[in-house]
Amino acid sequence: MLISDDLQQRWWNLESKLVERFGKKPDMEAVLFLIGMQETGFMQEKISKEQKQDLMHVAVCTLLAPSGYYILEGTDPDGWPHFRQLKELPGLNFIEQENFLKDHVLLYFEQQGF
């Protein structure tokens, strides 16, 4: 499956806005990290590798929740959201996974009014 022209153009538009905002072009990991920070409100000077992975996990769950893959079950005492997986993720190759995530990222930013 090749990326559709519309998806690619919308992705480039988002990247352009993020470059304007942050001064450099983010990769998918950086976008997920940013979404995780947005969703948790987690801000620290030093962030461990584990915390970064946790933030990216929160982002993926948040992104895929509207499509019925995850549901937010609540937050722990530290304020971290916890999700439950509702259905299996589709079996996709790397490019298809990236496009699947890009589509959900674009929807997220659209819903955020960005």
The amino acid at 88:
E
- Adjacent-strand bridge partners of 74: 82
State the Cα angle at 3 between 52 and 18, rounded to 5°: 45
Grouped pLDDT means (10 residues each) for the chain, 114 residues: 76 94 92 95 88 96 97 92 95 93 96 88
Question: How far is the CA of 35 from the CAs of 29, 58, 105, in angstroms?
Answer: 10, 8, 9
**Separation of alpha carbons 57 and 70, rounded Å:** 11
Region of 79 on the Ramachandran plot (φ > 0 left; ψ -120 to 50 alpha; else beta) = left
- The reported pLDDT for the residue numbered 43 is 83
- The reported pLDDT for the residue numbered 3 is 59
The amino acid at 25:
K
Q: Domains in the chain: how many in total?
A: 1
- The reported pLDDT for the residue numbered 1 is 44
**What's the domain range around 105?**
5-111
Q: Which of 43, 106, 47 has the alpha carbon at shortest distance from 79?
A: 43
- The reported pLDDT for the residue numbered 2 is 52
